[in-house]
Amino acid sequence: MDLGLKNKAAVVTGGAGGIGREIVRGLMAEGCRVCVLDLKVDSVTETLAVQCDVTKRESVEAAFRRAEQEFAHLHVLINSHQLWPHAWFKDITDEQWHKAIDVNLTSYYLTGQAMVRHLLAHKLTGSILNISSQAAFRGATTGHAHYAAAKAGILGLTKSIAREVAGQGITCNALAPGMARTPATASTLAENETEYLKRIPLGRIAEPKEVADVAIFLVSERARYITGATVDISGGMLMH
């Protein structure tokens, strides 16, 4: 199936590892030109990579200027970066709270705004995808309340962006994965994989490519009539 991404340009945050890395590979396989934004980009050699602190406006704006210099027009933004801190709610400090919100929510506002401004300035249609989490719906039971709160905020932000820019042909959707096998979850799965499997009807942990495949579809021309939606990819953990 041709997804209509050939020769388009995409910005992928958190694209140096985990799910983000698989998204980059999948986009490139579709003929899409990709700019990776990440704090550490030394491992990214196959495409344009820009070091960026997505919690800082000046860093985001500089990164988008670099992407524009390389590609002229941008068409896709996928926010796949995240921070998954652990602290029981009674122990969360103000510093931990603000960092979790900044990385997992405020940054999505900054990159999303930069993308919308670019698309509107150049009168382009385009797609934004924000990766949230099942925790946005289910809450966190393992010491990630600050993470869950930010991920729930992403869903409200996504719907609001979608409503504001639909008339300009810009879509904005969210993806809500369950547990996936990434470097960030490796230690948790090593200790508690059996407990996680009990919650998943399909009986296995997602591979990053399975999440990436759905993400790529949602920013493709095949999904142009989908906006403001959140798509679950949780092995049946959440059904509605």
Three-state secondary structure readout of 175-218: EEECCECCHHHHHHHHHHHHHHHHCCCCCCCECHHHHHHHHHHH
The answer to the question of residue 239 being in a domain is no
Distance between CA atoms of residues 102 and 82, nearest Å: 10
Can 147 be counted among the known catalytic residues?
yes
- What's the mean pLDDT when you consider all of the chain? 94
Tokens of 99: 């960092």
User: Quick one: which of 7, 115, 127, 112 has its CA closest to 67?
Assistant: 115
Does any domain span residue 69?
Answer: yes
Q: Does residue 196 register a pLDDT over 90?
A: no
Report which of residues 34 and 1 the model is more confident about: 34
Cβ atoms of 68 and 118 closer than 8 Å: yes
Q: Report which of 157, 118, 108 is spatially closest to residue 10, judged by C-alpha positions.
A: 118
Give the up-direction half-sphere exposure of residue 205: CA atoms within 13 A in the CB hemisphere: 16
CA atoms in the 13 A half-sphere facing the CB of 106: 12
Q: Among 80-94, 118-132, 159-173, whose mean pLDDT is lowest? A: 80-94
5 pLDDT band, cuts 50/70/90, is very high
What pLDDT score was predicted for residue 182? 81
| Among 80, 18, 107, residue whose Cα is nearest residue 218 | 80
More confident residue, 163 or 235: 163
Residue 3 lies in a domain: no
Residue 66 belongs to a domain: yes
In a domain, 240, yes or no: no
Count of domains for the chain: 1
Residue 123 belongs to some domain of the structure: yes
CA 61 to chain centre: 18
Place of tokens 């941008």: 74
The predicted model gives 114-122 an average pLDDT of 98
Cβ neighbours, 10 Å, residue 181: 17
Catalytic residue among 108, 109, 147, 196: 147
**CATH number for the domain including 71?**
3.40.50.720
pLDDT at 85: 86
Residue 238 within a domain = no
Q: Which domain holds residue 29?
A: 9-232
Quick: pLDDT tens for 34-48.
999 999 988 888 899
User: Higher model confidence: residue 80 or residue 186?
Assistant: 80
**Amino acid residing at 170:** I
SS (H, E, C) 94-151: HHHHHHHHHHHHHHHHHHHHHHHHHHHHCCCCEEEEEECCCHHHHCCCCCEHHHHHHH
Q: Could you tell me the pTM of the whole model?
A: 0.94
Strands across the sheet containing 33-38: 48-51, 33-38, 9-13, 76-79, 126-131, 170-177, 230-233
Would 220 be classed as within a structural domain?
A: yes
Tell me the two tokens of residue 37. 């934004």
